Each structure stands twice: as structure tokens, then as C-alpha cells.
Copies of this chain bind each other. A is one copy, B any other.
Amino acid sequence: MAAAKLIKDPREQQSVRLWLELLRCAKTQETRLGARLRKHYGHSLTRFDALSQLYRAPDMTLPVTALATRLLASSSGNITGLIDRMEADGLVVRSPNPDDRRSFIVRLSKTGTTLFEKMAIEHGHWVRDGFEGLSDSELKNLQASLIRLRKHLEQED
């Protein structure tokens, strides 16, 4: 016999169902994009995320902490190791910050920049394909709801 429902309140049930749906969408898309990046370029979504944050930063440089807090696809866990490996692959360069001797600055290398530009264009196609089932206006409505959701989530805690 299956277990009885633990949650009685309809609003709460609806919220949980929505959350699971949101999570499923995000995971599916993440897996899909991650697999393609790995297959086509041999790099993880985490690295693509890091390259992306650096690319849009002024002078393509960020202090380690700033990079860590901006990472989306990944979390900032073991940022040191991530940068170590990316540096070993020639994607980024780490140098001391002359203004603050506690701090290190990470810069996108020429190699990293060229690689990211190629990856980003194809990544854009893949993302667009993923949303193909939705109309332009549905995309906008969806985004508007998600923005409100995120703002509420962020103002919590």
C-alpha cells in the first residue's frame, strides 16, 4: 500500500509540484548543455560558467572571491582547485593584486577568450533549441514570473 500524503495544504502541494517541475527543467537543461560542452569542447559547464563571468568582467579580470560569488552553474566550492586546473590548461592566468597583497586576480588568457567565444555561440544555439516549444510571448511571461520568484527568494533569509 502506498503511503498517505504527508502534505495536506493545497497551496503547499501546488508549491512542491511546481518546485519539482522547475528543478526537473533546470537539471534536464543543465545535463543537456553540460554533455554537449564536454563532447564538443572537452570542458565542463562549470568551466564555461567561469569563462563567461570573466569574459563579461572589465578587462576580463576578476578577483578570486568575485569570480567565486558570481558562479551560477557551479558553486564556489574549491574555487582554488578550479582555477588551478584552468590555469594548467592555459585558459586563465592568476597574478597578485598590487593594491591588496591578500588578493589574487584571475584574467582570461588569449586562449581562454578565443575558446569562450566559440563555445558561447554554439551554447546560444543549444539554449534556443531547448526553448523551441514556447512562443515569444510565453518566453517573456515565463521570464517575468521567474524574475519575481528569484527576487522573492533572494530577499528571504
Bound CA span A128–B123, Å: 33
Tally of this chain's copies: 2
Contact A134 B153 (CB under 8 A): no
Interface size band for A: 35 or more
Q: Is A66 an interface residue (CB 8 A)?
A: no
Contact of A154 with B by CB under 8 A: yes
Q: Verify A12–B125 contact, CB threshold 8 A.
A: yes
Please report the C-alpha to C-alpha distance between residue A151 and residue B121 in the assembled complex, in whole angstroms. 25
> Contact at B121–A32, with CB atoms within 8 Å?
no
What is the CA–CA distance of A3 and B16 in the complex, to the nearest angstrom? 41
- Is the beta-carbon distance between B128 and A152 smaller than 8 angstroms? no
Which of B58, B60, B72 is in CB contact (< 8 Å) with A24?
A: B72
The docked-state distance in angstroms from the alpha carbon of A72 to that of B130 is 19
* A-to-B contact residues, CB < 8 Å: 2-3, 6-7, 9, 11-32, 55-56, 58, 60, 72-73, 75, 117, 120-121, 123-125, 127-134, 136, 138-143, 145-154, 156-157
